[in-house]
Amino acid sequence: MATSQRDRAGRGSNGKGIDMAVDALVRQLGDAWGWILLRGLASIAFGALAVLWPGMTIVVLVIMWGAWAFVDGITSLATAWKARDEGKPVWPLVLIGMLGVGAGVVAAVSPGLTAVALLTFIAWWAVIMGVFQVVHAIRVRKAIDHEWMLILSGGVSVLFGAYMLVSPTRGALAVVWIIAVWSIAFGVLLASAAFRLKRARDAGG
């Protein structure tokens, strides 16, 4: 009986410890809300530019996407460094950041790749980045309201990447519109999540 009570007490203590760690992480993500907002705004700007640029070629689109992925990677790394998870950088954001920086560099230095190869590369990047985004969202879901926005932003990326992998040879105009719509939707969800993290931080004092 005594052992059972100690076990329950231990589990309760561990649960409280986990909740406190999540609350601390959310507060620190709230402190970094500006970097998260910048990620969202950069994504919206890229999508809007893709829509407004008439006659854009796939190569130009990929170069623009590479620049955006690089900026997204840098802001993700900055967020991970500012919002410490129990004293360590937030590893899903670190991986997202490294992936973005690497993708941006590859897109910039490999203009000779075929359009299909470049689009396939973008698709895989979106899938992997989306998975990490969902993992990160699940980590903090109990400490913020409307956490589905963070999860949905990752899910949108996964669905977009999967669609592009299945249909990489669609017409150039269709590809531009698909990437633009995904980028704007992802940016809006990320910007909304940034404001909610800020409010969660302010509510927690």
pLDDT tens for the 205 residues of the chain, in order: 444 455 444 445 454 444 555 566 667 777 778 888 998 999 999 889 888 886 777 777 778 888 888 998 998 888 888 776 555 667 778 888 898 898 888 878 876 666 677 778 788 888 988 888 788 777 766 655 556 677 788 888 898 888 888 876 665 567 778 888 888 988 898 888 888 878 877 776 5
The C-alpha atoms of residue 11 and residue 166 are separated, in whole angstroms, by: 45
Nearest to 136 by CA among 12, 39, 42: 39
The C-alpha atoms of residue 14 and residue 189 are separated, in whole angstroms, by: 32
Q: Is-above-0.85 flag for pTM?
A: no
The C-alpha atoms of residue 149 and residue 116 are separated, in whole angstroms, by: 31
> In the prediction, which pLDDT does 45 show?
92
> In the prediction, which pLDDT does 130 show?
86
Nearest to 24 by CA among 133, 140, 138, 132: 140
Q: Which domains does the chain have, with CATH numbers?
A: 2-203 (1.25.40)
> In the prediction, which pLDDT does 146 show?
58
